[in-house]
């Protein structure tokens, strides 16, 4: 009787499940049904009491963990996602103990969705430049590195470094508040220009970067660079801020973030020392 009262009235979701491919529910308490939004009857009618039916993540991975835990005699302690009756995704922390005599799992489930939302929010803030809404330098480098490593076979990609001309004049003449407005506006223009097709970010100060993949020719890249130059123009009380663009085009697939940045920076240096508000493209010998 004491066990039944503990099971029924526990604030945590408690389950007893069969050791089968579906984790068929033998018994569950009210807290479980409240969490998932199903009644006992609807869980039986809709899902045949198969807990696996409401799991969102890859079942093969979960079953592997179950098998390993049984073989080692360990408890299962892991996090994954399920879907409630409304179709909403819940993150849960699952602690399960296997009983070899009954061939069943005794499971405690805690809803940790609030924690995942908080972690994702913190992670997003840490990765985003708060002024422009673009990727910050560290996350930009991380994303570009991941993109380069994911490319398979012959690949062509390019890095565009963008430096704003006359930006210092804005800060010196009108203050940093107006300067911040210029940076935010330029960031918004880049976001609209490239949408989600490319990786874009702010490197710091008045410098931005765009990483492009699947570029088929110098002509295509030149058109993109010219579009950046044409789009990134801002005038405030007679002071015109424009953009100089240094581009490195690589078809060899051998460059990493740092070497591409260095090559694009050399191209940008050429522009800044010849005629601002233009672009210059450097490229590997294989182009």
Confidence of residue 17 (pLDDT cuts 50, 70, 90): very high
Residue 121 lies in a domain: no
Claim to verify: residue 204 and residue 157 sit in the same structural domain: yes
Residue 267 lies in a domain: yes
Q: The domain containing residue 98 runs over which residues?
A: 2-116
**End residue of a domain, out of 116, 139, 156:** 116
Element (H, E) at 119: helix 113-127
Claim to verify: residue 147 and residue 32 sit in the same structural domain: no
Which region among 112-121, 169-178, 260-269 has the lowest average model confidence (pLDDT)? 112-121
The percentage of the chain sitting over the pLDDT mark of 70, rounded to a whole number, equals 91
Residue 63 lies in a domain: yes
Residue 82 lies in a domain: yes
**End residue of a domain, out of 85, 116, 147:** 116
Average pLDDT, the chain: 85
- Spatial separation of the C-alpha atoms in residues 232 and 187, rounded to whole Å: 9
- What is the model's pTM? 0.59
| 25-28 vs 76-83, strand pairing mode | unpaired
Confidence of residue 285 (pLDDT cuts 50, 70, 90): low
pLDDT at position 238: 86
> What is the secondary structure of 112-181 as a DSSP string?
-HHHHHHHHHHHHHHHB-TTTSSB-HHHHHHHHHHHHHH--SS--EEEEEEEEETHHHHHHHH-HHHHHH
**Domain of residue 273, CATH code:** 3.30.70.270
| Residue tagged active-site, from 129, 165, 206, 280 | 206
Higher-confidence residue of 128 and 88: namely 88
pLDDT at 126 over 90: no
**End residue of a domain, out of 77, 96, 116:** 116
Tell me how many domains the chain contains: 2
- Spatial separation of the C-alpha atoms in residues 172 and 51, rounded to whole Å: 64
pLDDT at position 121: 66
pLDDT at position 40: 93
Residue 122 lies in a domain: no
Cα 123 to its chain centre, rounded Å, is 9
Which region among 18-22, 147-151, 188-192, 210-214 has the lowest average model confidence (pLDDT)? 147-151
Claim to verify: residue 111 and residue 164 sit in the same structural domain: no
**Domain of residue 18, CATH code:** 3.30.450.20
pLDDT at position 287: 47
91, two tokens: 């993150």
Residue 207 lies in a domain: yes
Higher-confidence residue of 210 and 117: namely 210
Residue 258 lies in a domain: yes
Higher-confidence residue of 88 and 284: namely 88
Collapsing DSSP to helix, strand or coil, 38 comes out as: coil
Mean pLDDT of 31-43: 94
Claim to verify: residue 136 and residue 97 sit in the same structural domain: no
Residue 164 lies in a domain: yes
The percentage of the chain sitting over the pLDDT mark of 90, rounded to a whole number, equals 32
- Among this protein's residues, is 74 annotated catalytic? no
Mean pLDDT of 166-179: 87
Higher-confidence residue of 121 and 217: namely 217
- Spatial separation of the C-alpha atoms in residues 166 and 259, rounded to whole Å: 27
């Amino acid at each position: 009787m004491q066990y039944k009262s503990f099971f029924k009235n526990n604030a945590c979701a408690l389950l007893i499940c069969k050791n089968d491919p579906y984790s068929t529910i033998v018994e569950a308490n009210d807290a479980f049904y409240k969490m998932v939004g199903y009644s006992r009857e609807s869980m039986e009618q809709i899902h045949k009491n198969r807990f696996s039916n409401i799991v969102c993540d890859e079942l093969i991975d979960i079953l592997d963990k179950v098998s390993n835990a049984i073989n080692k005699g360990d408890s299962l302690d892991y996090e994954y996602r399920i879907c409630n009756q409304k179709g909403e995704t819940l993150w849960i922390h699952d602690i399960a103990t296997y009983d070899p005599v009954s061939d069943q799992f005794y499971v405690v489930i805690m809803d940790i969705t609030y924690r995942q939302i908080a972690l994702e929010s913190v992670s997003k803030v840490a990765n985003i430049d708060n002024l422009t809404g673009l990727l910050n330098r560290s996350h930009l480098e991380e994303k570009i590195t991941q993109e380069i490593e994911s490319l398979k076979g012959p690949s062509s990609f390019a890095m565009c470094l963008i430096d704003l001309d006359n930006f210092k004049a804005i800060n010196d003449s009108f203050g940093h508040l107006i300067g911040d407005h210029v940076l935010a506006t330029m960031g918004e223009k880049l976001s609209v220009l490239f949408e989600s097709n490319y990786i874009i970010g702010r490197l710091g100060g008045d410098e931005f970067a765009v990483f492009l993949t699947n570029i088929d020719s110098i002509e295509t890249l030149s058109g993109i660079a010219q579009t950046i130059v044409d789009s990134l123009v801002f005038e405030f009380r007679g002071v015109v801020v424009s953009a100089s663009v240094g581009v490195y085009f690589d078809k060899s697939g051998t460059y990493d973030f740092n070497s591409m940045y260095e090559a694009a920076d050399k191209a940008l240096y050429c522009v800044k020392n010849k005629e601002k508000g233009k672009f210059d493209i450097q490229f590997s010998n294989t182009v």
